[in-house]
Amino acid sequence: MRVGLLTGGGDCPGLNAVIRAVSKSLLLRCGAEVIGFEDGFLGLIEGRYRQLDYRAVSGILTRGGTILGTSNKANPFRYFARDGADVSDEVLHRYRDMELDAIVVIGGDGTMTIANGMQKKGMAIVGVPKTIDNDIVGTDRTFGFDTAVTVATEAIDRLHSTAQSHHRVMILETMGRYAGWIALHAGMASGSDVILLPEFPYDIDVVAEVCRKRGQGGQRFTIVAIAEGAKPEGGELAVKKVVVGSPDPIRLGGAGNVLAHALEQRLEGEVRTTILGHVQRGGTPTPFDRVLSTHFGSQAACVVEEGRSGVMVALHDGRMTEIPLTDVAGKVRNVKPNDPHVRAALSVGTSFGVREL
């Protein structure tokens, strides 16, 4: 058996743990040859790869990033180096010429969409859900999410002391794109007074009212956790820049600054914003993410060994399972008003910046 492996999209804590688990499982279970493609689908397009033997993947469990490199622009159906040409047939020929039995694709929603397209063309693909955003359909958790939440929570914890000392409104902006899972979990874990998510456009007057009431009640500070994709009612997303040629060209950023500017016009005290940024994606994965990554990698290897494909491994109700790639491609898992985490936050007085939810 000869199996390919690649990591697509943005970097994420736990990628190396999955590479290790997939490779070691296949090597030990069936003596497979494992080939790692460099820089995601770009390595598959350009024919850049390396052997992943037992020694190559030893000692990488705790390392952040990916030893194979990644790319969030490479797409066989729109190859940027050829003005967006479709090179998927060339990629399929390379796959067959290399006599690969399957490819394990580790990535987020964009990567799974590409994987589903290549599966339909004739590749045998098994997906592994990766993203700090936790927004992939069909799985309760993605690896990397716990690490991002841990970093964001610690950051908000540190802001508390400054907020209390100077009687300020302190805002922390998290990543997450169009899903608010990081802000929701970090906001709950840190006891944030207000949590603002992309799924629930906020009323700035409601947020200002929370800040004023806290001051009147003797709590002269307010902590706000805001996702980068959050926006006011009737307002626009805060776009930092547009990257031409990227599958997802919009780069969000600055939602916290937009909020701060609006609050300063309604409040007497100071309002400060901290944008956490890529710190959430870097560094060593938490123990939870290392364990989850190992489970995902082992499950993916098992699926490959059994000769199955066209699925993404997933965590559902605490158990490893699989979901068809067709059910994942092109979809995003968002926070819903009836989500248990939202209801729990509301029950302890947390505001989501809306009059009613």
Q: Which residues are catalytic?
A: 133
Amino acid symbol at 218: G
Nearest CA among 111, 90, 112, 103 for reference residue 8: 111
CA distance 89 to 223: 52
HSE value, Cβ hemisphere, 13 Å, CA-based, for 58? 4
CB atoms within 10 A of CB 206: 16
β-strands 271-275, 169-174 pairing: parallel
d(CA 279, CA 186): 14
Residue reference for tokens 């997906």: 127
Closest CA to 102 of 122, 83, 88: 122
Handedness of CA 112, 230, 193, 152 (dihedral sign): positive
Token representation of residue 172: 């922390």
Report the C-alpha gap between 311 and 303 in whole angstroms: 9
Tokens standing for residue 69: 């490199």
Helix (H, G, I), strand (E, B) or coil at 4: strand
Q: Rounded distance, CA 239 to CA 208, Å? A: 23
Contact call for residues 221 and 233 (beta carbons, < 8 A): no
Neighbours of 270 (CB within 10 A): 14
End-to-end alpha carbon distance in the chain: 53
Do residues 327 and 314 touch, judged by C-beta distance below 8 A? Answer: no
Report the C-alpha gap between 265 and 54 in whole angstroms.
60
Alpha carbon 274 to its chain's center = 20
The DSSP line for 224-244 is EEEETT--BTT----EEEE-T
